[in-house]
Chain A
Amino acid sequence: MKPRMKVEIYYFGCCAWSYFFAYGGGFLDEEWTRVGGDFRERLEDNGVQVVEINLLENPELAERHASQIDPYNPFSSHQRFFLDDKEVSKEKFFQALSAPEEAY
């Protein structure tokens, strides 16, 4: 069975570019969907839970999980990837996401 998959996206709500770069500008578009958008829809279609976190509304979460954020940089962003509630690297996450169902 495929693991439960989740992505957390941390972005500055005051900057459209922060959101854009949080998705890698976007890492999903270029490394996975290659469709120039629809990242969230595509992830959700694949059973991935996407949680978006505005750093300005959740400073305590940012400090706990995204402490390398540069608060002076409006483009700053961060992502976290989870398989079965365990944080994993981006590479491992996309490996699991791209694996066929039979692999599990």
Chain B
Amino acid sequence: MKVEIRDLGTENIDDLISVCVSQSRLRQAKTLAEGNLRKKMWIEKALEVFGSCAKIAYADDKPAGFVEFYPAPMFPILRNMLKDRKAVLIMCVFVRTDYQGRGIGSNLLRALIEDLKQRAIIYFGNERANEIAIGSWGSHTGFPEALPRFRRFFLKNGFVEAPDFPDPTGKGGIMIYRLID
């Protein structure tokens, strides 16, 4: 299986969206289809303002997974708590179930880390990000069964637990990767 990681651009927005919802039994729901349209509109704007905000993994040229990320201080509530930090927030990392267990998720994270180590980000005044953060899906989305796997995956990829990282919810479970110490 040949795996290739590509940056999100205007030409492959539909690939990103398809990976996200293609395996759900709810994929035909009109509310979800509308959500896909809203996401597409948002991504088109985000690409102009932030540059590429996702990486897509292609397995034998088929979209198989993605990691999506944004400057953390652009998020409501966090913008007040993180205004002095150049943190990138991973909003989602996902690999289709039929491609899981083949290192694609780790490939995506490695590509993101390498990219952010050298990319100047307009949102941070053309400076590089200092850290990458993610809130655990176990704590923050209410899937506690996902927590052990989540932790293993991110620890394996160089993330560390960050109990002091600002978290307005008090749920904890934030993990970060330090790009610059």
Contacts and interface: CB of A to CB of B under 8 A. Distances in A.
B38 A11 contact: yes
Interface string B75-97: 11111100000000101100000
Interface of A: 11-20, 23, 25-26, 29, 36-40, 52, 54-60, 62-63, 66-67, 69-75
Given A16-B21, A16-B36, A71 B31 contact: no
Contacts of A15: 35, 39, 91-92
Interface centre among A23, A38, A52 (most CB of B within 10 A): A23
A51 B151 CA distance: 38
B169 interface: yes
B133 to A, nearest CB: 8
Contacts, number: 115
B91 A20 contact: no
Given A37-B31, A39-B31, A73-B141, A16 B79 contact: no
A72 B140 contact: yes
B154 interface: no
B38 A13 contact: yes
B38 A59 contact: no
Contacts of A73: 135, 140-141
A26 B46 CA distance: 27
B96 to A, nearest CB: 16
Contacts of A26: 29, 31
A37 B35 CA distance: 12
Given A19-B39, A56-B70, 19 more contacts: A11-B35, A11-B38, A13-B42, A14-B39, A14-B53, A16-B20, A20-B26, A20-B31, A26-B29, A36-B30, A37-B29, A38-B30, A62-B77, A70-B171, A71-B75, A72-B140, A73-B140, A74-B92, A75-B141
